[in-house]
Amino acid sequence: MERMESMEPISAHYTTAYPEIQPDSGYESRETTDSQAKTPPAPTYDEELVHKFVLNLTFLQTILVGDSGVGKTSLLVQFDQGKFIPGSFSATVGIGFTNKVVTVDDVKVKLQIWDTAGQERFRSVTHAYYRDAHALLLLYDITSKTSFDNIRAWLTEVHEYAQSDVVIMLLGNKADMSSDRAIRRDEGERLAREYSVPFMETSAKTGVNVELAFTAVAKELKHRAVQHPNEPKFQIHEYIEAQKEKSGCCSYF
């Protein structure tokens, strides 16, 4: 599959996004003597602005993985369109993607979110996409012990095929189905702690924590790309905990 076929033309962003970056903008205008004219002053260079500019051109690859039926497609549809389509389950065939722009601290972060097929027979297709992933959302279904038990195998695959610095987040989906719950929240938390990855329970049906999951990833990726030297390092775990508390998200799970 040709991966970038639906991307917007890059030139559109180049001309409009950061007009303050002009080819000559690094040179001050001033009178020069003959000798000065031969050695023009070094261009001033705003590193942070350039990073923002580069970020604006780049799609950051985020990939959704987990067993078939855990709700990867539903989570993406909820994030992208704010809706849940109930009814019969139609498994993803191969792979698909959605582009989504998330604004983080006034910077536009462009996520290209890949929705993979959870079925075993598509596994080799999925592996090919791990390498370019900047972030990876790993889902299980809180009503399925098998999908939870398989998380370790998924993480082994991730460590084998993805870049070592990929941002990983563990999500326990279908949190609205509390009466069918097979995995307690603290079990999810414990597994996440074991692998040092952030964790939250989500519901693609009610939308709970869906936006937060993607925003937290976008924030982490943005901070990695545009980290001001004097700025404290972004702590994704702390951010998620603070946001969960703010929204009172978990009281009705």
Length of the chain, please? 253
Chain residues that interact with ligand GTP, rule: CB under 6 A? 68-74, 86, 89, 91-92, 117-119, 173-174, 176-177, 203-205
Query: CA neighbours within 13 Å on the CB side: how many for 59?
Result: 21
Asked if 214 contacts 171 with a C-beta cutoff of 8 angstroms, the reply is no
Minimum distance from residue 167 beta carbon to ligand GTP (Å): 20
Select 52 or 72, whichever has its Cβ closest to ligand GTP: 72
Minimum distance from residue 173 beta carbon to ligand GTP (Å): 5
In angstroms, the CA 182 to CA 32 distance is 76
Select 205 or 219, whichever has its Cβ closest to ligand GTP: 205
Q: Which of 215, 233, 238 is nearest to 223 (CA)?
A: 233
Select 53 or 84, whichever has its Cβ closest to ligand GTP: 84
Asked if 72 contacts 116 with a C-beta cutoff of 8 angstroms, the reply is yes
Minimum distance from residue 59 beta carbon to ligand GTP (Å): 21
In angstroms, the CA 143 to CA 208 distance is 16
Tokens 């991966």 sit on residue: 3
Select 53 or 214, whichever has its Cβ closest to ligand GTP: 214
Backbone angles phi, psi at 92, to 5 degrees: -65, 140
Asked if 108 contacts 127 with a C-beta cutoff of 8 angstroms, the reply is no
In angstroms, the CA 3 to CA 59 distance is 12
Select 138 or 226, whichever has its Cβ closest to ligand GTP: 138
Minimum distance from residue 93 beta carbon to ligand GTP (Å): 8
In angstroms, the CA 213 to CA 62 distance is 11
Minimum distance from residue 21 beta carbon to ligand GTP (Å): 40
Select 45 or 89, whichever has its Cβ closest to ligand GTP: 89
In angstroms, the CA 40 to CA 222 distance is 34
Minimum distance from residue 45 beta carbon to ligand GTP (Å): 45
Minimum distance from residue 4 beta carbon to ligand GTP (Å): 22
Select 92 or 227, whichever has its Cβ closest to ligand GTP: 92
The rounded radius of gyration (Å) of the Cα atoms in the chain is 22
Tokens 């370790």 sit on residue: 152
